[in-house]
């Protein structure tokens, strides 16, 4: 692919003014290749666990499965293209490749935060409103998950059709929202994305987890755990895991958000090349630590993965309803 005539000169200029030396590009490429391999393998293992153990294939666990697909999407498509460009010293996939790469990264990122919002809602309904949580069906969860994906498609396509735009970043080796062109289109797009896909989800998450923490504390202090029909140790485990996932996601995407906000209200030229590359690298890092969180924060998921690594059969291990997220014990068919 090649840039069209209107962008040929600007692209050549970007290549000539690459902010990084080839050695620095090679270091970034090595990181991307290593992180990509770890991410793909670990998330494939996560999916393999859900395939191997039917009792884990529940409606609520579909959220975790979808999160794994977003991670595989970024590491399987975004990482290789970016690493190849770094090894080349500049973006090497042309204008169309730039649009596809940037759109897919925004798509998977928006889908992730949408799915994490669904996780928070699930925790709230399971612990704070079990009367509603028990009535949640596979169809309900499918609708919530589809809403997260559809929202992601919309915001990923907007720069393609003209609301803001995608372009190579100052390093010249990756593509993202063109935050150096801080015109009215970019500012309006950025502010709307931050409001809809950052402020609103954070508000929902804060509300859900605040009430979850209050409810858990009330049940614990009143010693009435026997009166609720849920495995409380599982729910505590899962809630801690969910909170860690969300906190880590925010840590990963905060530098990128700061870059976009600074570009909207400040001078984009003052953003250093180091920050320009660290921001997207931080954002991409969210793809490989989620599986680590599943294993570290959830003992029953850890039990399942150890059984899989040891090649134990289903008859040799009792998962004992080891559902990383469980409202209903019924499995999907």
DSSP state of 332: P
User: What is the spatial distance between Cα 298 and Cα 307, in angstroms, rounded to a whole number?
Assistant: 14
The token pair that represents 26 in the structure block: 């090679």
Distances (CA, A) of 23 to 11, 14, 30, 87: 21, 18, 11, 9
Q: Using one digit for the tens of pLDDT, what is the confidence trace for 94-137? A: 999 999 999 999 999 899 989 989 988 988 898 888 888 888 88
Reduced to 3 states, what is the DSSP secondary structure of residue 7?
helix
Residue 329 above 50 pLDDT?
no
DSSP state of 168: E
Q: What is the DSSP string of 217-284?
A: HHHHHHT-GGGSSS-HHHHHHHHHHHHHHHHHHHHHHHHHHHHHHHHHHS-GGGS-HHHHHHHHHHHH
User: What is the spatial distance between Cα 215 and Cα 253, in angstroms, rounded to a whole number?
Assistant: 29
Residue 200 above 60 pLDDT?
yes
Q: How confident is the model at residue 144 (pLDDT cuts 50, 70, 90)?
A: very high
The token pair that represents 272 in the structure block: 């250093």
Q: Using one digit for the tens of pLDDT, what is the confidence trace for 98-108? A: 999 999 999 99
pLDDT at 248: 82
List of residues 6+ apart from 118 with CB closer than 8 A:
63, 141, 144, 145, 148
Q: Using one digit for the tens of pLDDT, what is the confidence trace for 56-91? A: 677 667 888 898 899 999 888 888 998 998 888 888
Tokens 């090497």 belong to which residue?
92
**Which CATH class for the 5-316 domain?**
mainly alpha
Q: Using one digit for the tens of pLDDT, what is the confidence trace for 240-279? A: 777 887 788 788 878 877 877 787 777 777 777 777 778 7
Reduced to 3 states, what is the DSSP secondary structure of residue 301?
helix
User: What is the spatial distance between Cα 295 and Cα 303, in angstroms, rounded to a whole number?
Assistant: 9
């Amino acid at each position: 692919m090649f840039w069209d005539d209107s962008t040929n000169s600007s692209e050549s200029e970007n290549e000539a003014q690459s902010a990084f030396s080839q050695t620095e590009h090679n270091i970034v490429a090595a990181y991307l290749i290593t992180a990509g391999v770890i991410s793909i393998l670990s998330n494939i293992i996560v999916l393999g666990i859900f395939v191997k153990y039917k009792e884990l294939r529940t409606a609520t666990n579909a959220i975790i499965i979808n999160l794994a697909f977003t991670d595989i999407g970024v590491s399987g498509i975004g990482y290789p293209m970016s690493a190849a460009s770094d090894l080349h010293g500049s973006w090497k996939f042309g204008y169309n490749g730039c649009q596809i790469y940037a759109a897919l990264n925004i798509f998977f990122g928006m889908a992730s935060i949408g799915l994490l919002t669904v996780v928070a809602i699930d925790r709230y309904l399971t612990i704070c409103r079990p009367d509603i949580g028990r009535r949640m069906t596979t169809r309900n969860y499918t609708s919530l998950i589809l809403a997260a994906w559809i929202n992601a498609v919309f915001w990923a396509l907007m720069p393609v059709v003209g609301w803001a735009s995608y372009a190579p970043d100052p390093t010249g080796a990756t593509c993202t929202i063109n935050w150096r062109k801080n015109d009215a289109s970019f500012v309006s797009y950025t502010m709307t994305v931050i409001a809809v896909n950052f402020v609103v989800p954070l508000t929902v998450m804060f509300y859900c987890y605040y009430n979850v923490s209050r409810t858990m504390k009330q049940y614990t202090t009143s010693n009435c755990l026997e009166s609720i029909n849920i495995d409380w140790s599982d729910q505590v485990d899962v809630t801690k895991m969910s909170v860690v996932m969300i906190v880590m996601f925010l840590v990963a995407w905060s530098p990128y958000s700061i870059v976009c906000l600074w570009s909207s209200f400040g001078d984009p030229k003052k953003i250093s090349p180091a920050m320009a590359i660290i921001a997207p690298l931080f954002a991409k890092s969210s793809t490989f630590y989620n599986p680590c969180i599943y294993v570290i924060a959830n003992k029953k998921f850890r039990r399942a993965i150890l059984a899989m690594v040891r090649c134990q059969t289903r008859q040799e291990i009792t998962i004992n309803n080891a559902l990383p997220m469980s409202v209903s014990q019924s499995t999907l068919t």
